[in-house]
């Protein structure tokens, strides 16, 4: 991109490197100055890949007095005030702590990290094997060496704990270790100027924060809602050349590109009002030049997949899901959090303004919705990725070539690949379907097919409203619209009659009226065979 003066900081979390090497920096220092001036002991929860590490790196440079890095940024004036004094900074990242080699090695790795920080600060501490003792010595000895109060920045405070989400016995041991470690922050507050802990969750709140109860939680505060993430205005202001050049590459207008980006990547919210793009996804998108599920990829996806499988989750359960303010503030502990609490804290559900409740939860955007749909689809299938790939390939080909027979065949392969036990009534009873007028089994079939389409990256909308009713499914692939109505033929019912009824309903209820030249299909699923037995075009 010859036109672009500044580079994309893909994967770069160090403020100094971003500034000195000519990368784009979205200025968040106004909020950081406000944070420093209003208090001194904070906690911030944000999902992974949202810029928490860069936030702490920026704070570190501010407290160190690195004035040359802040020219033209809001914090420049704060650093040049006559009363400004730099402070020594203890910056810990629990991402660096090894967790998968057993509990004893967690302690060793944490201790090594503390010793590493002490070496950087040129501070002498003992070689105790107790992490809390080493941390206490680091705080006090740093204060004494520099004769200044210490700044403590801790990134991913909950990472060792989250890594044991599938082993609650070990998780409890890790929680106790961290509780005894973090208590040193409060116990030595006379030596500290400023403290900020960040993490993806409040899972460890009762175990850790009961001993560290002087933290101010800013996770829901309006003035810091955009501290991590990129607002729509920041996207336009900081990436104009990338927007223009990417639009040229895709052969669409800049306005069309922005609309597509809003749909695919915008929508994370931490107060129910301010919407944000995930920075990682935006940078990867501009770098690659195509729409991909960037935020979701990586190691966390398998952990989420296992969790979803164990809970018999369907994607549609959590669309516009009402929650209270109390839930948002305390979503629950790792071993007792409701499903929505788990998904909310991990970032797969985000806040929206409530209608009949304080807030509601929903998927942030198409990127997360599609990725979740693919995971759930894989979980439903017998051979997971192998079955999904076959169904995916045939479905995409059928939609591209407008081959409805091949589409029906692909959907039957999907239904045939679902294990028998996943059709059982007790699994269906766990599905939230009471907002719909049809039976739980109909909901299961419709939700399964909808989830599969979304997992394929297809724009698929359920219960699409017209002035006379709601279409089961509306697909948009390569600009072609498919309107699909589904009926289930139970024992003794005629599938042909059900297919006729489904097809007739599309026209009687004007489901296809908003879409000229739409392909309309009425489908009848034989519940005994668990296959599409009849369809009408």
Mean pLDDT within 463-482: 81
Residue 303 lies in a domain: no
Domain C-terminal end among 177, 207, 224: 224
3-class secondary structure, 436: coil
Rounded-to-integer distance, Cα 179 and Cα 469, Å: 55
The mean pLDDT of 494-519, rounded to a whole number, is 93
In a domain, 241, yes or no: no
Mean pLDDT value of segment 428-450: 62
d(Cα 315, Cα 38) in Å, to the nearest integer?
41
Residue 479: other Cβ atoms inside 10 A: 5
- The total number of structural domains in the chain stands at 2
Please check whether residue 31 lies inside any domain of the structure.
Answer: yes
> What are 293-347's pLDDT values in tens digits?
888 765 455 667 667 777 767 787 788 889 998 888 888 765 567 888 888 888 8
> Which string of b and e fits 507-536 if b means at least 16 CB within 10 Å?
eebebbeebeebbbbbbbbbbeebbbbbbb
Of 224, 249, 271, the residue that ends a domain is: 224
Per-residue pLDDT reduced to its tens digit, 125-178: 998 999 999 999 999 999 999 999 999 999 999 888 888 877 878 888 888 888
Q: Is the pLDDT of residue 435 over 80?
A: no
Cβ distance 265 to 281 under 8 Å? yes
Over the stretch 257-283, which tens digit does the pLDDT of each residue have? Answer: 999 999 999 999 999 999 999 999 999
Parent domain of 478: 382-536
Q: Which 3 state secondary structure label does DSSP give 195? A: strand
Query: What pLDDT was estimated at residue 433?
Result: 40
Give residue 481's Cα distance to chain centre: 29
pLDDT band at 80 (very low <50, low <70, confident <90, very high): very high
Q: Is residue 300 part of a domain?
A: no
The 10s digit of each residue's pLDDT in 4-48 is 468 999 999 999 999 999 999 999 999 999 999 999 999 999 988
As a whole-number percent, the residues of the chain with pLDDT over 90 amount to 60
Domain assignment of residue 275, yes or no = no
Reply yes or no on whether the pLDDT at 2 is more than 60: no
Q: Give the CATH number of the domain where residue 459 resides.
A: 3.40.1350
Q: Enter the tokens of residue 109.
A: 């790795």
Q: Residue 155 in 3-state DSSP?
A: strand
The upper half-sphere exposure of residue 347, i.e. CA atoms within 13 Å in the direction of its Cβ, equals 24
- How many angstroms from the chain centroid is the CA of residue 461? 21
Would you say residue 233 lies in a domain?
no
pLDDT at 250: 95
Give the Cα separation of 516 and 514 in Å (integer): 6
pLDDT of residue 428: 47
Q: Which of 292, 290, 288, 295 is nearest to 229 (CA)?
A: 295
Contact 134, 125 (CB under 8 A): yes
Mean pLDDT of 454-483: 83
pLDDT at 75: 98
Q: Is the pLDDT of residue 207 over 80?
A: no
Looking at 199, 224, 249, the residue that finishes a domain is: 224
Say what the pLDDT of residue 221 is. Answer: 94
- Which region among 67-81, 237-251, 362-376, 417-431 has the lowest average model confidence (pLDDT)? 417-431
pTM: 0.86
Q: State yes or no: pLDDT of 429 exceeds 70.
A: no
Q: Is 478 exposed, middle or buried (0-12, 13-18, 19+ CB in 10 A)?
A: exposed
When the pLDDT of each residue in the chain is averaged and rounded to a whole number, the result is 87
Least confident of 284-298, 351-365, 373-387: 373-387
Q: Which of 46-55, 88-97, 412-421 is predicted least confidently?
A: 412-421
Q: For residue 505, what pLDDT is reported?
A: 94
pLDDT digits (tens, 9 = 90+) for 387-411: 778 888 999 999 999 998 999 999 9
The CATH number assigned to the domain holding 178 equals 3.40.50
Residue 322, in any domain of the structure: no
The Cα-based distances of 114 to 58, 93, 184 in angstroms read 21, 10, 13
Q: Which pLDDT tens digit goes with each residue over 98-124? A: 987 888 899 999 999 999 999 999 999
| φ, ψ of residue 325 in degrees (nearest 5) | -60, -40
Dist. CA 462–CA 481, nearest whole Å: 13
- From residue 73, how far is each of 35, 69, 76, 239 by CA, in Å? 16, 9, 6, 17
Residue 239 domain-assigned? Answer: no
CA 180 vs CA 91, 99, 106, 184: distances in Å: 18, 17, 14, 7
Residue 243 has pLDDT above 90, yes or no: yes
Pairing of strands 150-155, 89-93: parallel
pLDDT at 112: 95
Closest to 505 measured CA to CA, from 525, 485, 489, 490: 485
Quote the CA–CA distance of 267 and 537 in Å, as a whole number: 37
């Amino acid at each position: 991109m010859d036109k672009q003066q500044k580079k994309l900081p893909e994967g770069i979390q160090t403020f100094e490197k971003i500034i000195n090497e000519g990368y784009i920096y979205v200025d968040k220092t106004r909020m950081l100055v406000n944070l420093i001036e209003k208090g001194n002991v904070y906690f911030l929860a944000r999902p992974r890949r949202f810029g928490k590490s860069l936030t702490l790196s920026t704070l570190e440079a501010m407290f160190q007095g690195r004035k040359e890095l802040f020219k033209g940024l809001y914090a420049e004036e704060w650093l040049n005030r006559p009363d400004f004094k730099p402070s020594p900074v203890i910056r810990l990242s629990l991402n660096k702590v090894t967790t998968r080699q057993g509990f004893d090695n967690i302690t060793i790795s944490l201790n090594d990290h503390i010793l590493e920080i002490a070496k950087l600060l040129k501070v002498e501490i003992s070689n105790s094997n107790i992490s809390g003792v080493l941390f206490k010595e680091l705080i006090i000895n740093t204060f004494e060496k520099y004769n200044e109060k210490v700044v403590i920045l801790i990134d991913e405070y909950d990472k060792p704990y989250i890594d044991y989400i599938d082993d609650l016995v070990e998780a409890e041991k890790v929680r106790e270790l961290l509780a005894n470690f973090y208590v040193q922050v409060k116990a030595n507050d006379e030596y500290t100027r400023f403290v900020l802990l960040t993490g993806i969750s409040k899972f460890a709140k009762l175990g850790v924060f009961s001993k560290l109860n002087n933290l101010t939680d800013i996770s829901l505060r309006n003035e810091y809602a955009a501290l991590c993430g990129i607002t729509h205005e920041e996207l336009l202001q900081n990436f104009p050349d990338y927007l223009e050049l990417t639009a040229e590459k895709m052969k669409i207008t800049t306005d069309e590109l922005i609309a597509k980006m809003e749909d695919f990547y915008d929508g994370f919210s931490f107060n129910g009002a301010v919407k944000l793009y995930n920075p990682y996804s935006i940078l990867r998108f501009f770098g690659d030049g195509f729409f991909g599920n960037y935020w979701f990829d990586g190691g966390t996806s398998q952990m989420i997949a296992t969790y979803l499988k164990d809970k018999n989750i369907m994607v549609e359960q959590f669309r516009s899901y009402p929650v209270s303010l109390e839930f948002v503030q305390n979503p629950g502990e790792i071993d007792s959090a409701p499903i929505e609490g788990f998904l909310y804290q991990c970032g797969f559900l985000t806040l929206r303004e409530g209608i009949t409740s304080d807030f509601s939860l929903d998927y942030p955007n198409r990127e997360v919705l599609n990725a979740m749909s693919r995971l759930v689809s894989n979980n439903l299938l017998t051979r997971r990725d192998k079955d999904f790939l076959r169904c995916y390939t045939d479905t995409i080909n059928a939609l591209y070539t407008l081959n409805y027979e091949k589409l029906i065949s692909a959907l039957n392969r999907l239904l045939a690949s679902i294990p028998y036990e996943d059709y059982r009534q007790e699994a269906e009873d766990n599905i939230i379907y009471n907002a719909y007028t049809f039976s739980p089994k109909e909901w299961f079939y419709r939700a399964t097919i909808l989830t599969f389409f979304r997992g394929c990256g297809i724009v698929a909308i359920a219960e699409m409203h017209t002035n006379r009713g709601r279409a089961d499914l509306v697909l948009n692939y390569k600009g072609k619209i498919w309107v699909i109505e589904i009926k289930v033929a139970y024992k003794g019912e005629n599938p042909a009659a059900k297919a006729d009824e489904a097809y007739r309903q599309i026209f009687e209820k004007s489901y296809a009226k908003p879409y000229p030249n739409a392909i309309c299909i009425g489908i009848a699923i034989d519940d005994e065979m668990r296959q599409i037995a009849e369809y009408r075009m």
